[in-house]
Chains A and B, each alone.
Chain A
Amino acid sequence: MSTTIPNNKPIIEIKDLRKSYGDNHVLNGFHMELNEGENLVIMGKSGSGKSVMIKCLIGLERPDSGTIEVMGETIAELSRTALDELRTEIGFLFQGSALYDSMTVRENLEFPLRRHTKKFGVLKDTTPLVMEALESVGLAHAVNLMPAELSGGMKRRIALARTLILQPKIILYDEPTTGLDPITAKEILILMKSIQDKYNTSAIIITHDVDCARVISNRMILLVDGINYAEGTFEELSKYADPKVQAFFK
């Protein structure tokens, strides 16, 4: 699919995105572009609409207005099956890992393969795929454990393995380091980088963690009051005099 997209064309394009819950206007005309191979960090305070934006992007929430194009397809116009097909190209790492409590690690990893059969066909044996994904996060030994037996960092890595199993082109990280101790957080960041090198993915990383942004970002967008308040590389933004921007870097 990606071969049909010219190199200069952004892989994700969001225009004038608006979303409100009652009187609470979360997004007020947000726009962004993600180029291929790029790591875009979106920073914002809690409740600034980062998570809502990323959920609109993958079709979990419907925006009030605005268009989202992913790999040339407009999300709002897609049928359910087409959307599911597109979702195989987008990995989503949830904030709290969102592993299925009632399933083993293996079943967790197999879960996306159940219905997303377009990419690999109907698999008789999923073991090679599962093991490959687990090895790339360094947790091959945990394959038969239950999520409850894992530490927070391990859960996050298993969740990452689960998003990787379909070998997506884009990975959306929703606060990948939140709730982890600094050392584990750093390990996760290193892992994210290595994955990007290995699979050549593009990524949108939502965070309010400056360290995370510094390590991983090629480009940053600061989201304040539902609009892109500032945009640029980490170095550029950290030199901004604006107090609202500076608030992020303290």
Chain B
Amino acid sequence: MMPMNAIFKITEVFKSFLLEIGELSFFAARFFRESFKRPVEFKEFLRQCYNMGNRSLLLVAVTGFIIGLVFTLQSRPTLQEFGAVSWMPSMVSISIIREIGPIITALICAGRIGSGIGAELGSMRVTEQIDAMEVSGTNPFKYLVVTRIMATTFMLPILVFFGDAIALFGSYLVENVKGNVSFLLYFNQVFNALEFGDLMPATIKTFFFGFAIGLVGCFKGYYCKKGTAGVGVAANSAVVFTSMLLFIIDFIAVFVTDIFYDL
């Protein structure tokens, strides 16, 4: 009896997962349909950009700086063992630009922005603010969802630029203190190691990261269950689901990049 029960449970979980993916796809399709419709809620878009971009900058900067610092400190001894410390800037720059910068920034933003959107829209749904908007003649999907997804999509790449730059700066500080590498030498080596094949796919990928953060946050919040508990669930599941999705996108991005750039 027990195994039957377990199998039943697994199929249920799987079913609900598929259901979620399906609903999310419809939600995304609706986003694309509505985002081309007039009127454009430009003011709200700017407000969201400010909220998501400027207000996340400090967090992204601090994390980026620490990541750059720690990453360099941690990998230094290993390279030193082979007398390859001079490769440090190249190694750090490639890893940060290609992977660490985008994914860390995206995860931080999934935590900050994704959960924020989930909770905000969730509580708006619960307290009928979304219905109130509808009644007030404003399409809440356009006003709330489209603007937010757009904002995350366009702000995340910029946050990643900042994050990358600051992480590289943190790495430079370590190199400067430990290895007496000058600013010019460090960044000369950094840009020597980098190619467009490193920068461009990583940048394109961040748009998708931003889109995923906005989409899932809005999706979870917009279809929030009634009650205050629903808001918590919306915020929480937005973060969890987004983080998972980020890694999946990252995985796909690597494959696509591999095809086009021949890593």
A212 to chain B, nearest CB (A): 19
Are A114 and B138 in contact, CB atoms less than 8 angstroms apart? Answer: yes
Interface centre among B123, B133, B137 (most CB of A within 10 A): B137
Q: Which residues of A contact B133 (CB under 8 A)?
A: 100, 111
**A80 to B, closest residue via Cβ:** B139
Are B131 and A94 in contact, CB atoms less than 8 angstroms apart? Answer: yes
Whether A177 is near chain B, meaning CB under 8 Å from some CB there, is: no
Task: Give the number of A-B contacts (CB < 8 Å).
Answer: 51
Whether B132 is near chain A, meaning CB under 8 Å from some CB there, is: yes
Taken together as a complex, chains A and B put the C-alpha atoms of A112 and B133 apart, in Å, by 8
- Which single member of A60, A88, A102 contacts B134 (CB below 8 Å)? A60
Taken together as a complex, chains A and B put the C-alpha atoms of A112 and B129 apart, in Å, by 12
Given A92-B135, A100-B132, A111-B133, 8 additional A-B pairs, CB 8 A:
A94-B128, A94-B131, A94-B132, A102-B120, A111-B138, A112-B137, A114-B137, A116-B137
**A88 to B, closest residue via Cβ:** B137
Whether B74 is near chain A, meaning CB under 8 Å from some CB there, is: no
Whether B127 is near chain A, meaning CB under 8 Å from some CB there, is: yes
Taken together as a complex, chains A and B put the C-alpha atoms of A111 and B129 apart, in Å, by 12
Are A101 and B132 in contact, CB atoms less than 8 angstroms apart? Answer: no
Interface residues of B, Cβ cutoff 8 Å to A: 39, 120, 123-124, 127-129, 131-138
Q: Which residues of A contact B39 (CB under 8 A)?
A: 115
A sample of 7 cross-chain residue pairs with beta-carbon separation below 8 angstroms, ordered by A number, consists of A60-B135, A88-B137, A95-B128, A98-B131, A100-B124, A115-B39, A115-B137
Taken together as a complex, chains A and B put the C-alpha atoms of A90 and B133 apart, in Å, by 14
Taken together as a complex, chains A and B put the C-alpha atoms of A101 and B123 apart, in Å, by 10
A84 to chain B, nearest CB (A): 4
Are B136 and A111 in contact, CB atoms less than 8 angstroms apart? Answer: yes
- Which single member of A84, A92, A96, A115 contacts B127 (CB below 8 Å)? A96
Are A98 and B132 in contact, CB atoms less than 8 angstroms apart? Answer: yes
**B127 to A, closest residue via Cβ:** A96
Are A60 and B131 in contact, CB atoms less than 8 angstroms apart? Answer: yes
**A95 to B, closest residue via Cβ:** B128
Q: Which residues of B contact A116 (CB under 8 A)?
A: 136-137
Are B136 and A55 in contact, CB atoms less than 8 angstroms apart? Answer: no
Interface centre among A58, A87, A90, A100 (most CB of B within 10 A): A100
B187 to chain A, nearest CB (A): 41
Residues A92 and B137 in contact in the complex (CB < 8 Å), given A98-B127, A101-B123 = no
Are A115 and B131 in contact, CB atoms less than 8 angstroms apart? Answer: no
A80 to chain B, nearest CB (A): 8
Whether A68 is near chain B, meaning CB under 8 Å from some CB there, is: no
In the complex, which residues 95-134 of chain A have their Cβ closer than 8 Å to any Cβ of chain B? 95-102, 111-112, 114-116
Q: Which residues of B contact A95 (CB under 8 A)?
A: 128
**B134 to A, closest residue via Cβ:** A60
Taken together as a complex, chains A and B put the C-alpha atoms of A58 and B136 apart, in Å, by 11
**A96 to B, closest residue via Cβ:** B127
Taken together as a complex, chains A and B put the C-alpha atoms of A86 and B129 apart, in Å, by 20
In the complex, which residues 45-84 of chain A have their Cβ closer than 8 Å to any Cβ of chain B? 55, 58, 60, 84
Q: Which residues of A contact B135 (CB under 8 A)?
A: 58, 60, 87, 90, 92
B172 to chain A, nearest CB (A): 40
Q: Which residues of A contact B129 (CB under 8 A)?
A: 98-101
Taken together as a complex, chains A and B put the C-alpha atoms of A198 and B158 apart, in Å, by 54
- Mark interface residues in A173-216 (1 if CB within 8 Å of B CB, else 0): 00000000000000000000000000000000000000000000
Q: Which residues of A contact B138 (CB under 8 A)?
A: 111, 114-115
Taken together as a complex, chains A and B put the C-alpha atoms of A202 and B131 apart, in Å, by 21
Q: Which residues of B contact A92 (CB under 8 A)?
A: 131-132, 135
A159 to chain B, nearest CB (A): 8
Interface centre among B132, B133, B134, B138 (most CB of A within 10 A): B132
Q: Which residues of A contact B132 (CB under 8 A)?
A: 92, 94, 98, 100
Q: Which residues of A contact B136 (CB under 8 A)?
A: 87, 111-112, 114-116
Taken together as a complex, chains A and B put the C-alpha atoms of A58 and B129 apart, in Å, by 15
Taken together as a complex, chains A and B put the C-alpha atoms of A97 and B124 apart, in Å, by 11
B47 to chain A, nearest CB (A): 9
Taken together as a complex, chains A and B put the C-alpha atoms of A94 and B135 apart, in Å, by 10
Residues A98 and B123 in contact in the complex (CB < 8 Å), given A58-B135, A88-B137, A116-B137 = no
Taken together as a complex, chains A and B put the C-alpha atoms of A124 and B91 apart, in Å, by 58
Q: Which residues of A contact B137 (CB under 8 A)?
A: 84, 87-88, 112, 114-116
